[in-house]
Amino acid sequence: GVSKKILVIPGDGIGQEVTAWGKKVLETIAANYKHTFTFDEGIMGHVAIEATGDPLPDGTLEKARQSDAILFGAIGHAKYDNDPTLKVRPEQGLLKIRKELGLYANLRPIKLFDDLLQASSIKPEILQGADILFFRELTGDVYFGEKKRSEDRTTASDLMIYHQYEVERIARKAYEAARTRKKKLCSVDKANVLEASRLWRETVQAVAKEYPDVETEHMFIDNAAMQLIKDPKRFDVVVTGNLFGDILTDEASQIAGSMGMLASASVGDSVGFYEPIHGSAHDIAGKGIANPLASILSAALLLDISFGLKEESQRVIRAVDATLKQGYRTMDIANKHTPNEFVLGTDAMGAQVLKNLN
Amino acid sequence: GVSKKILVIPGDGIGQEVTAWGKKVLETIAANYKHTFTFDEGIMGHVAIEATGDPLPDGTLEKARQSDAILFGAIGHAKYDNDPTLKVRPEQGLLKIRKELGLYANLRPIKLFDDLLQASSIKPEILQGADILFFRELTGDVYFGEKKRSEDRTTASDLMIYHQYEVERIARKAYEAARTRKKKLCSVDKANVLEASRLWRETVQAVAKEYPDVETEHMFIDNAAMQLIKDPKRFDVVVTGNLFGDILTDEASQIAGSMGMLASASVGDSVGFYEPIHGSAHDIAGKGIANPLASILSAALLLDISFGLKEESQRVIRAVDATLKQGYRTMDIANKHTPNEFVLGTDAMGAQVLKNLN
Ligand SMILES: CC(C)[C@H](C(=O)O)[C@@H](O)C(=O)O
Ligand SMILES: CC(C)[C@H](C(=O)O)[C@@H](O)C(=O)O
């Protein structure tokens, strides 16, 4: 067995409830496969502001640097959403840790579990067979460009900026992945309007020459947002910038039935960072009804990508699949028109997956 | 009858084919209702670059200023999409005319014609009853902020910038419209990350106080991109910035069955500008298969908003509805699973609508 240190950062809102299950799944895998996973915990986001005044305390960042992988929950709180004038904000913690750890590539696999074919608002015949891997650039773009507010506070700006090397490295990662899949890559930008997008497109065009075996397509973001719903099967690997990736992957969650099903891996220079795509969901936080599967599937990605434990990772995915086959659903993936579904809360759902792991 | 001057700008690609039908519909309405519409034509986009070197020649802008309304087609050409280094680009024409004419409010109504319930990739039960009116801000944001490219060409940026007055005026237009509808307004931004979005949210919050009878909701763009597909019926009026509006309305076309069905009105300081949401679609340009209904519905918007001819506008919409009821479809809205559909080309479809107008 291997010996690894995992940092768990539950964060805000439903992050607390669901991450507990991602962690339990890792513990169970360790026990079953005789690995030694040592867990530590860190705070980040609103909970960290409340405790220390800082959305990403130095202690958490230190622990992150010393871990072999990080399992994260979610970030955000209604208080800040309702008051845009607050200076210290939970999201700053997440943006800072992404930047500090050099997590420039955010992988978001979109795939529907067979038993959820009816859970989506999209027609089954449109969804069946869709399988998309998004590469979202994560440490550049308008997220990290200079922010300004005029003294009289009536003008505000953010700089959307990309450097060639940032586009190159994410494009390479995406092309490498495309080689192991259907050998199709779609790069999404707004090159008909934005200079940053024109650099993006030029750079991807140059990198494409190194991968003549992969078919490259360039698409404008507005068209991509449309095609994703119209014909999701046309996509294999999609690579795009930070902002467009944020929007497209949330939208793409409808292809997988629910946001509550989607995991993501952020990788780059060193340690890998795993998190559900869903946010803190204050409206349902604390109610025990959140879907723990995205956190559990984030744990599966962690096992695969950071630890190279492919069999263990597949074991987790099979346990999720089995749970869905048995008819167990959380609220977000329930379909009132389908008989033989049992709607469970977070803990009961997590417990079913654990059972199926044993 | 009224006497009005209409400038027609077919633009690029399928713009040429479909705008001919928007114009014919206006001519027919003029004849039937004894109005005098005088038509002039202008060039813009790739065709204008080819003819004059300028995507928006002064002559076209001059004609635009002197007209009572403008019917536009589409803009863009594959040559420029494939070569991001070209300096003079078709889209600059469209952006410039929007700015020069002060067209800051882009209205995009999203509503499904009953007979197209099966044409969408979204389930009928999710769509039925959806009726959204988008207000996209059209003369600010990252579209018009300063663009830079470093001398060595390895860094590129665009400034995402908003001024309070820009947000105020579009918000007011959106609230006024909400008052005449279901009294619900959703403002979309990314205030958890972007300073420009925080200004946007603060400003909408302030304007909201003037409209206590309208229910206001603020939503992040990533969540909005998801909710639009998950539950389109939750929206009534949506107001958002230029970039997010571009993305969301193209996505929302799937709610209306096809991009080929959607018209838009750009209004502001003076003359109104009407155009389909779809682009130049080089892949099908010149084949005679483009859907002319978005241009025809743009003509309907023109009659209503710029000329106040509500009855005439409704007459056009009813003619489109009748054409769909008769089973006529262009390729983009055909559904091979539905019997009694007749798939027509652009001209045959346009001719059917004219017939139904008489
Ligand atoms: C919480 C927020 C800052 C974050 C983002 O926009 O990156 C989230 O939406 C995500 O996608 O991880
Ligand atoms: C052609 C392009 C510049 C334009 C835009 O992005 O505004 C188009 O997509 C639109 O939505 O009108």
Domain boundaries, chain B: 1-103+264-358, 120-256
A233 noted as active-site residue: no
The closest residue, in CA terms, to atom 9 on ligand 1 is A246
Ligand 2 centroid distance, CA of B5 (Å): 25
Q: Report yes or no: A339 and A327 within 8 Å, Cβ to Cβ.
A: no
Taking the CA of residue A192 as reference, the ligand 2 atom at the shortest distance is 3
Instruction: Indicate which of B194, B255, B261, B262 best probes the interface with A, i.e. most A CBs within 10 Å of its own CB.
Output: B194
Residues of A in contact with B142 (CB under 8 A): 142, 160, 193-194
Q: What is the pLDDT of residue B110?
A: 97
- Measured CA to CA in angstroms, residue A355 lies from A263, A274, A352, B195, B293 at distances of 21, 23, 5, 46, 56
Q: Between chains, do A158 and B194 touch, taking CB under 8 Å as contact?
A: yes
For strands A105-111 and A131-137, give the pairing: antiparallel
pLDDT attached to residue B28: 98
pTM comes to: 0.97
Q: Supply the CATH classification number for the domain B120-256.
A: 3.40.718.10
**Closest approach of B91 to chain A, Cα-based (Å):** 7
Closest in A161, A229, A246 to B251, CB measured: A229
pLDDT at B299 (0 to 100):
98
CA A191 – CA B114 distance, rounded (Å): 36
Q: Who contacts B52 (Cβ-Cβ below 8 Å, separation ≥6)?
A: B43
> How many angstroms separate the CA atoms of A168 and A301, rounded?
24
Window from A60-64, B113-117, B240-244 with minimum mean pLDDT: B113-117
What's the gap between Cα B96 and its chain centre? 16
Please give the radius of gyration of chain A, using alpha carbons only, rounded to the nearest integer. Answer: 20
User: CA B62 to CA B73: how far, in whole Å?
Assistant: 18
Nearest Cα to Cα of residue A226 among A256, A247, A200, A199:
A247
- Asked if B119 and B258 count as a contact pair (C-beta separation under 8 A), the reply is yes
CA dist., res. B102 & res. A213, Å (int) = 48
**Residues in chain A with pLDDT < 70?**
336-337
Q: Which residues, other chains included, contact A99 with Cβ-Cβ below 8 Å and sequence gap of 6+?
A: A139, A144
Interface contact flag, B195 A85, Cβ < 8 Å: no
CA–CA distance, A86 with B298 (Å, rounded to integer): 43
Position A270 scores a pLDDT of 86
B152 as an active site residue: the answer is: no
Q: Is B222's CB within 8 Å of A250's CB?
A: yes
Say which amino acid occupies A290: A
pLDDT of B335 reads 79
Quickly count: other Cβ atoms within 10 Å of residue A254's Cβ: 25
The pLDDT value given to residue A42: 98
Dist CA A157 CA B128 (whole Å): 39
Residue of minimum CA distance from atom 2 in ligand 1? A91
With an 8 Å Cβ cutoff, is A331 touching chain B?
no
Q: CB of A166 closer than 6 A to ligand 1?
A: no
A336 is catalytic: no
pLDDT class for B58, splitting at 50, 70, 90? Answer: very high
pLDDT recorded at residue A55 = 98
Instruction: Give the integer Cα–Cα distance in Å for A334 and A71.
Output: 26
B-contacting residues of A 267-296, CB under 8 Å? 279
Task: Give me ligand 2 centre to Cα A136, in Å.
Answer: 23
At B340 the pLDDT is: 81
Q: Tell whether ligand 2 has an atom less than 6 A from the beta carbon of residue A222.
A: yes
User: B1-103+264-358 with B120-256: one CATH topology?
Assistant: yes
Q: What is the 8-class DSSP label of residue B122?
A: B
- Best A75, A85, A121, A162 residue to mutate vs chain B (most B CBs within 10 Å): A121
Question: To the nearest 10°, the Cα dihedral for B215, B220, B224, B226?
Answer: -140
3-state DSSP assignment of residue B105: strand
CA of A28 to the centre of ligand 2 (A): 51
Q: What is the distance in angstroms between the CA of the first residue and the CA of the last residue of chain A?
A: 18
**Confidence band of B209 (pLDDT split at 50, 70, 90):** very high
Residue A304, judged by CB atoms within 10 A of its CB (0-12, 13-18, 19+), counts as buried
By CB atoms closer than 10 A (0-12, 13-18, 19+), residue A238 is buried
Task: Give the pLDDT of residue A338.
Answer: 72
- Residue in A76, A248, A259 closest to B192 by CB: A76
Residue B176: per-residue pLDDT: 98
Mean pLDDT estimate for chain B: 97
Ligand 1 lined by A75 (C-beta under 6 Å): yes
Output the six-digit token pair for A274: 């795993």
Q: What tokens appear for B237 in the block?
A: 């009026």
Q: Give the pLDDT of residue B144.
A: 98
Say which residues have a Cβ less than 8 Å from residue A357's Cβ, sequence separation at least 6: A25, A28, A29, A32, A315, A316, A319
* pLDDT of amino acid A160: 98
The number of the ligand 1 atom at minimal distance from the alpha carbon of A249 is 11
What are φ and ψ of residue B159, in 5° steps? -90, 120
Q: Which of B344, B315, B284 is nearest to B352 (CA)?
A: B344
In whole angstroms, what is the distance from residue B162 CA to residue B160 CA? Answer: 7
Phi, psi dihedrals of residue A178, rounded to the nearest 5°: -60, -35
Q: Does A168 touch chain B (CB under 8 A)?
A: no
Locate tokens 């519409």: which residue?
A: B37
Q: In whole angstroms, give the CA distance from residue B143 to residue B234.
A: 29
**pLDDT at residue number B67:** 98
Q: Give the CA dihedral B307, B69, B236, B194, nearest 10 degrees.
A: -150
Distance CA A48, CA A25 (A): 25
A318 known member of a binding site: no
Cross-chain residue pair A253–B160, CB shorter than 8 Å: no
A222 is annotated as an active-site residue: yes
* DSSP-assigned letter for residue A257: S
Q: Which CATH superfamily hosts domain B1-103+264-358? A: Isopropylmalate Dehydrogenase (3.40.718.10)
Tokens matching residue A66: 């010393």
Instruction: Mark which residues 51-80 of B lie under 8 Å from A by CB.
Output: 76, 80
Give residue A335's pLDDT.
79
Q: What is the pLDDT of residue A65?
A: 97
Q: Which residue among A81, A158, A246, A321 is the active-site one?
A: A246
Residue nearest to atom 12 of ligand 2 (CA): B277
Active site residue B321: no
Phi, psi dihedral angles at A276 (to 5 degrees): -65, 155
Contact A48, A105 (CB under 8 A): no
Interface contact B230-A121, CB threshold 8 A = yes
pLDDT band per the 50, 70, 90 thresholds, residue B277:
very high
Q: Whose CA is nearest to atom 11 of ligand 1?
A: A246
Q: Which CATH class is domain A1-111+262-358?
A: alpha beta
A250 carries a ligand binding annotation: yes
